[in-house]
């Protein structure tokens, strides 16, 4: 993140605010490239208020909007949100249907804001199994934002880390069968067949609601991620919580099994690809064609 962006963020946060106090502790040079979030606790949030579980999911949409806006302001390269796991089909049918309805509503309402903020929207998971009308809306949002060069937003839907690895292995086998060449697999081969092949691995994994587990999320990709868990339930997650996570992340010494900070030796080609689109790393090339908006568009409430 550039100093100018930091200044813009501080202007937005307003002098004297908690957001501003926290943001001043951030090192603009060490903003993570990719943040992944396990959004947990919607059901408990609703239960505490004696509301139906789906009220918690509805309230969670505000936190989704806020973290996306924050990531845009902080020039985080990629954000991956775990919205629906392969195991979530076990929930009551009405809850599952409400989640798809909420997602569709979210897409209709927020797409203009995503476009204005230069967000590129993508999904990861076994998308073919989702209701057709949900797939259509997702496709539309992906096409509409495909040329954007700002935040790469990934929503994980019908996602499982193990199924992703199974899909990757099957894709590698299919390619080997087709080419007829002897099969030799290394880490880069697997990384390049994951749903996240175009992205660097997450630097930071955030989980809300206090549970200390990874719940089958990005199992391969979080090998070296820093994990930050908050007791806050997802609908209560605000800008200050993200800033606290980032401050804590910046205090950690990342050794990747070695003795000092150095990226792991095997990285996917995607690292280079995304570095190319993160403003600040490559300002001259990316910004001229598809500039970040100078002032952030507010998503509708």
Contact between 111 and ligand FPP per CB under 6 A: no
- With residues binned 3-state (H G I as helix, E B as strand, rest as coil), the percentages for the chain, rounded to 5, are 50, 10, 40
Q: Would you call 36 helix, strand, or coil by DSSP?
A: strand
The reply to whether 40 belongs to the active site is yes
**In the set 44, 62, 281, 297, which binds ligand FPP (CB under 6 A)?**
44
Q: Show contacts with ligand FPP in window 151-190 (CB under 6 A).
A: 155
- The Cα–Cα gap between 143 and 2 comes to 29
Smallest CA-to-CA distance from 267 within 227, 228, 226, 220 is with: 220
| Cα separation of the two ends of the chain | 27
Binding segment toward ligand FPP, per CB under 6 A, in 81-89, 119-127, 180-188, 193-201: 81-89
Q: Is 102 in the site for ligand FPP (CB under 6 A)?
A: yes
Part in contact with ligand FPP (CB under 6 A); list of ranges 8-16, 55-63, 138-146, 277-285: 55-63
Tell which one of 81, 194, 218, 242 touches ligand FPP (CB under 6 A): 81
Among 6, 35, 83, 296, the residue binding ligand FPP under the rule CB under 6 A is 83
CA distances from residue 110 to 9, 79, 105, 267 in whole angstroms, order as listed: 22, 16, 8, 33
Stretch that binds ligand FPP, among 41-49, 195-203, 267-275, 283-291 (CB under 6 A): 41-49
The catalytic position among 27, 88, 154, 186 is: 88
- Spatial distance between the Cα atoms of 290 and 176, rounded to a whole number of angstroms: 38
Q: Does 88 bind ligand FPP (CB under 6 A)?
A: yes
Q: How far apart are CA 285 and CA 179, in angstroms?
A: 36
Q: Among 33-41, 111-119, 126-134, 185-193, which window interacts with ligand FPP (CB under 6 A)?
A: 33-41
Residue 170 designated active-site: no
Contact between 64 and ligand FPP per CB under 6 A: yes
CA distances from 175 to 167, 168, 199, 256 (A): 12, 11, 21, 31
137 near ligand FPP, rule: CB under 6 A: no
Instruction: Rank residues 60 and 279 by Cβ distance to ligand FPP and give the closer one.
Output: 60
The footprint of ligand FPP (CB under 6 A) covers 39-44, 57, 60-61, 64, 81, 83, 88, 102-103, 106, 155, 234
């Amino acid at each position: 993140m550039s100093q100018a962006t930091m200044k813009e963020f501080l202007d937005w946060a307003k002098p004297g605010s908690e957001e501003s106090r926290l943001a001043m502790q951030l090192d603009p040079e060490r903003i993570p490239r990719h943040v992944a979030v396990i959004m947990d606790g919607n059901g408990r949030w609703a239960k505490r208020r004696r509301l139906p579980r789906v009220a918690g999911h509805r309230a969670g949409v505000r936190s989704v909007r806020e973290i996306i806006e924050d990531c845009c302001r902080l020039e985080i390269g990629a954000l991956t949100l775990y919205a629906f796991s392969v195991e979530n089909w076990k929930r009551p049918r009405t809850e599952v249907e409400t989640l798809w309805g909420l997602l569709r509503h979210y897409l209709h309402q927020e797409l203009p804001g995503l476009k204005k903020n230069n967000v590129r929207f993508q999904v990861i998971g076994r998308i073919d199994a989702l209701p057709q009308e949900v797939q259509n809306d997702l496709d539309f949002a992906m096409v509409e934002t495909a040329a954007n060069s700002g935040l790469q937003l990934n929503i994980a839907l019908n996602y499982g880390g193990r199924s992703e690895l199974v899909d990757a292995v099957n894709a590698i086998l299919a390619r080997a069968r087709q080419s007829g060449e002897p099969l030799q697999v290394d880490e880069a081969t697997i990384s390049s067949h994951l749903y996240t092949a175009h992205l660097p691995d997450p630097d930071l994994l955030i989980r809300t609601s206090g549970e200390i587990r990874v719940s089958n999320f990005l199992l391969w990709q979080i090998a070296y991620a820093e994990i930050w868990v908050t007791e806050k339930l997802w609908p209560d997650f605000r800008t200050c919580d993200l800033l606290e996570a980032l401050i804590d992340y910046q205090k950690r010494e990342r050794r990747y099994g070695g003795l000092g900070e150095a990226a792991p030796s095997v990285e996917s080609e995607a690292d280079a690809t995304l570095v190319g689109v993160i403003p600040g790393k490559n300002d001259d090339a990316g910004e001229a064609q598809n500039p970040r908006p100078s002032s952030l568009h507010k998503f509708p409430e």
